């Protein structure tokens, strides 16, 4: 039977051990789900570093669960036909001849990917042709996808809230997420109500019905809010809605989304978690699990103390891709090249028993079959790959590094479990907070709304962790603690309602300034563009000739944006990232940039571009080709990925071409 239940509350009054029972096993909580790309390309052998990490962890006995981001296949250039092939069988069926998948699979809705897509919008009207992907931003479509993949746990389709979204759109997206969750529960209760547009859709519904006969998937309702009040409102409204509509289909948990931009703000996380928990009645708390998307690691003990049951993270792979090693017990990432200096010898500073990378008898070995060392691993990650039957590939070594990083996170969860079982979670968190400023700030924030927690900390003589008499006694004086979305990044207000028609420089009465160079750069999340780290990395190196350079930014939404327009509201407010599957949008942006070059290109002595991210570089290259002028740098990047943007050698190609001497100012950006 699919259900969440509590096995034991901590004897000190903090934390709880639970069990989430699902079709393919049980998750013992607190638990950490590593994000794993089960689809890394067209076959099981695709996926580079992600494939190697996946294959060396899937059959681990103590793996509690797997988090798969439903739309992550878009990162690997799959076609609609490729996706259809993957949907023919569940993930377990795909992997059954390769590795036993020993853990339940949690599949989220892919809301963040869908938010930035112009391909997967609303379904067409009845009778109109649907898109080739059979995917839309509605609960029916996503539930069919999750059923085809064989999800044991699903998250309802949500509409994520970027930190600086304007208030009206925040409320609108929260309402849409609530409607989506209600619809999802109704569809699981009665799959015959799912929208069917094709024979493939009929098969998806049959899959869901067959899975229900074994045990229906556990449902985590996605919830949002950037502070205590908004997420409290969200949970209360959802619970009222399902009661009003008589929805009888149970759900097993809430999953807090939109947290990734906030995860370094532990005090903000505390405020959000407390808001969600306080909205759940006491009689229902023991039957509803709480998950936090994208948060795990050192925050786990504090958030478990507050009532969080499950976590997920992808940081193990993100840091590994930058050749960074997580130091156990310190929560500090060091480059592999720095480890020998850190340890004083050529060994890994790891005390985790049976760590696959670091233990002497672990499976991660060098080419001669010897245990890996930091220097050897660093050497492999710096080596150029070769091809052929006996070619060298470094992706498996990135996979082993990611595995070590994950084991550090996973050990923390096991220690939290043990602390709860021993009735000493609060003592564990106090000791952690005494050593870590982030956890200390979060623990102080938690006491503002939890007077019992403050009394228990005071009883342990941990006075340095109390929030202070003025804050504790007067909630009106919380200015030091009410750090919310205004502190995140650039403090701008954004809107997701902008469209390409809101700005088009080609329809303006515009003449570019007279400059020697036209420099074309990709857009950035930070606005104005010129204040972003990505553009400053290039522009700062062009300081000696900056007055001779006219910068035009390629916006994924609008096409060319000359620097004179960067302060306009439509430019500062939009939030959109160009993706390959949005073919019409790619075509529009390319056509607008080509037309800009055809109209104004003759005014410049030379046209250059700098881009490493695949989609934006392709737009610039295609426009330059159509215009028959312009050079994109770096000419031959190692990879068409964002991380190549900051590489010294790539920037130097551009500056050398433009005859800029930067030897005295070019810092180490790698």
Q: Is residue 495 within 8 Å of residue 575, measured between CB atoms?
A: yes
pTM of the model: 0.80
Q: How many domains does the chain have?
A: 2
Query: Region 263-291: what's the mean pLDDT?
Result: 93
Whether 29 is covered by a domain: the verdict is: yes
CA dist., res. 284 & res. 286, Å (int): 6
Q: What is the DSSP letter of 261?
A: G
| Sequence-ordered alpha helix ranges (H) in 360-459 | 374-382, 395-421, 425-435, 437-449, 451-459
Which residue segment(s) compose the domain that 70 sits in?
Answer: 3-321
What's the rounded Cα separation, in Å, for the pair 550 and 377? 43
Query: Taking residues 558-582, what's their average pLDDT?
Result: 92
Is 374 a member of any domain? no
Q: What is the pLDDT of residue 127?
A: 60
pLDDT beyond 60 at 491: no
Residue 423 lies inside a defined structural domain of this protein: no
600 within some domain? yes
Name, in order, each residue with C-beta under 8 angstroms of 651's C-beta and a sequence gap of 6 or more: 537, 538, 541, 610, 666, 669
The pLDDT tens digits for 405-427 are: 999 999 999 999 999 999 999 99
- Among the candidates 292, 321, 350, a domain finishes at 321
Say if residues 289 and 252 touch (Cβ distance below 8 Å): yes
Quick check: 478 pLDDT over 60?
no
pLDDT, tens digit, 9 for 90 and up, residues 524-536: 888 999 988 889 9
What is the three-class DSSP state of 325? strand
The Cα angle at residue 183 between residues 180 and 185, in degrees rounded to 5: 110
**Worst-scoring range by mean pLDDT, 195-199, 380-384, 485-489, 537-541?**
485-489
What token pair was written down for 24? 């393919």
Cβ-contact 218, 253 below 8 angstroms: yes
What CATH number is associated with residue 541? 3.40.50.10630
Tell me the pLDDT band of 380, cut-offs 50, 70 and 90: very high
Q: Which of 433, 444, 441, 440 is nearest to 466 (CA)?
A: 444
Among the listed ranges 298-307, 320-329, 472-481, which one has the minimum average pLDDT value? 472-481
In-domain check, residue 329: no
Q: Tell me how far apart the alpha carbons of residues 358 and 246 are, in angstroms, rounded to a whole number.
A: 54
398 within domain boundaries: no
Residues 96-141: tens digit of each pLDDT: 988 888 799 999 998 878 877 778 888 777 666 678 888 999 999 9
- Domain finish residue from 321, 344, 366: 321
Asked if residue 548 has pLDDT above 80, the reply is yes
pLDDT at 470: 39
Residue 37 to residues 50, 89, 152, 289, 356: CA-CA distances in angstroms?
6, 16, 16, 24, 20
Alpha-carbon distance 166 to 665, whole Å? 39
Last residue of a domain, one of 321, 339, 368: 321
Is 427 part of a structural domain of the chain?
no
Determine, yes or no, domain membership for 552.
Answer: yes
- Nearest Cα to Cα of residue 459 among 427, 417, 500: 427
For residue 276, the domain's CATH number is: 3.20.20.105
């Amino acid at each position: 039977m699919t259900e969440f239940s509590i096995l034991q509350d901590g004897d000190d009054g903090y934390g709880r051990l639970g069990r989430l029972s699902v079709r393919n096993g049980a998750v013992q909580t607190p638990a950490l789900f590593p994000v794993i790309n089960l689809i890394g390309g067209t076959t099981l052998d695709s996926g580079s570093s992600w494939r190697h990490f996946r294959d060396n962890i899937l059959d681990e006995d103590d793996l509690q669960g797997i988090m798969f981001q439903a739309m992550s296949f878009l990162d690997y250039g799959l076609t609609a036909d490729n996706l259809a092939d993957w949907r023919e069988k569940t993930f377990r069926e795909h992997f059954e001849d390769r590795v036993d998948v020993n853990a339940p699979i949690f599949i989220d809705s892919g809301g963040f990917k869908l938010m930035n897509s112009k391909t997967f919008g609303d379904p067409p009207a009845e009778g109109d042709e649907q898109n080739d992907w059979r995917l839309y931003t509605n609960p029916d479509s996503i539930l069919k996808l999750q059923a085809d993949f064989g999800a044991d746990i699903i998250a309802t389709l949500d509409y994520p809230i970027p930190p600086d979204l304007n208030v009206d759109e925040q409320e609108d997206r929260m309402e849409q997420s609530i409607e989506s969750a209600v619809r999802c529960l109704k569809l699981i209760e009665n799959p015959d109500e799912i929208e069917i547009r094709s024979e493939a859709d009929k098969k998806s519904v049959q899959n869901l019905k067959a899975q229900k006969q074994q045990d229906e998937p556990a449902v985590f309702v996605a919830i949002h809010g950037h502070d205590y009040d908004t997420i409290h409102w969200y949970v209360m409204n959802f619970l009222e809605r399902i009661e009003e509509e008589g929805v009888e289909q149970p759900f097993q948990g809430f999953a807090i989304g939109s947290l990734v931009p906030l995860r370094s703000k532990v005090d903000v996380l505390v405020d959000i978690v407390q808001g969600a928990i306080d909205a759940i009645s006491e009689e229902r708390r023991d039957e509803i699990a709480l998950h936090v998307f994208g948060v795990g690691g050192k925050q786990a003990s504090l958030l478990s103390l507050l009532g969080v049951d499950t976590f997920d993270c992808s940081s193990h792979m993100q840091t590994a891709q930058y050749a960074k090693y997580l130091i156990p017990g310190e929560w500090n990432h060091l480059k592999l090249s720095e480890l020998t200096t850190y340890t004083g010898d050529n060994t890994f500073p790891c005390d985790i028993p049976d760590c696959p990378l670091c233990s002497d008898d672990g499976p991660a070995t060098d080419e001669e079959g010897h245990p890996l060392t930091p220097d050897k691993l660093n050497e492999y990650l710096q080596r150029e790959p070769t091809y052929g039957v006996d070619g060298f590939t470094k992706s498996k070594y990135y996979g082993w590094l990611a595995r070590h990083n994950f084991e550090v996170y996973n050990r923390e969860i096991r220690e939290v479990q043990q602390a709860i079982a021993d009735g000493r979670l609060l003592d564990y968190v106090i000791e952690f907070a005494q050593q870590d400023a982030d956890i200390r700030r979060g623990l102080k924030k938690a006491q503002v709304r939890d007077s019992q927690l403050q009394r228990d900390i005071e009883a342990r003589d941990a006075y340095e962790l109390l929030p202070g008499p003025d804050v504790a006694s007067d909630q009106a004086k919380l200015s030091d603690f009410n750090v919310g979305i205004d502190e995140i990044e650039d403090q701008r207000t954004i809107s997701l309602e902008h469209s390409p028609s809101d700005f088009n420089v080609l329809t303006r009465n515009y003449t570019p300034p007279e400059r020697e160079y036209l420099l074309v750069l990709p857009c950035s999340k930070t606005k104005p563009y010129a204040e972003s780290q990505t553009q400053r990395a290039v522009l700062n190196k062009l300081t000696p000739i900056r007055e001779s350079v006219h910068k035009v930014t390629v916006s994924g939404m609008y096409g060319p944006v000359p620097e004179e327009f960067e302060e306009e509201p439509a430019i500062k407010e939009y939030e959109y990232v160009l993706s390959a599957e949005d073919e019409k949008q790619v075509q529009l942006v390319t056509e607008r940039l080509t037309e800009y070059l055809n109209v104004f290109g003759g005014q410049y002595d030379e046209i250059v571009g700098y881009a490493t991210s695949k989609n934006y570089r392709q737009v610039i290259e295609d426009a330059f080709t159509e215009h028959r002028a312009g050079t994109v740098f770096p000419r031959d990047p190692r990879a068409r990925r964002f991380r190549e943007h900051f590489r010294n050698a790539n920037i130097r190609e551009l500056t050398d071409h433009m005859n800029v001497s930067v030897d005295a100012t070019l810092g180490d950006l790698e």
